[in-house]
Amino acid sequence: MTQVAGRVEAKRINDHVELIHVDNPDAVLEVPRRDWESFTAAVKAGSFDLETLNRLAEENVA
């Protein structure tokens, strides 16, 4: 399963979901599948900002 939402791509791998920053594929966040529902609820509630991946990508390039 692959879904693209803005600049982040989600790929379900056996026991986790990988969120990959489209502009910087080296910026990957792994979320255990057991935590996926809690993670998406946090994102929807604004508790987790997916833009964090963009900041991490920029920091790793610098």
Domain contains 2: no
Domain contains 1: no
Q: Is 2 helix (H, G, I), strand (E, B) or coil?
A: strand
- Please give the model's pTM, rounded to 2 decimal places: 0.60
Domain around 47: 8-61
Q: Is 30 helix (H, G, I), strand (E, B) or coil?
A: strand
Indicate the burial class of 53 (C-beta count within 10 angstroms; 0-12, 13-18, 19 or more): buried
pLDDT in tens, the chain (62 residues): 455 445 788 899 999 999 888 888 887 888 889 888 888 888 888 777 666 656 666 776 65
> What single letter denotes the amino acid at residue 6?
G
Q: How many domains does the chain have?
A: 1
Domain contains 34: yes
Beta bridge partners of 12: 17
Domain contains 3: no
Contacts of 39 (CB under 8 A, 6+ apart): 31, 48
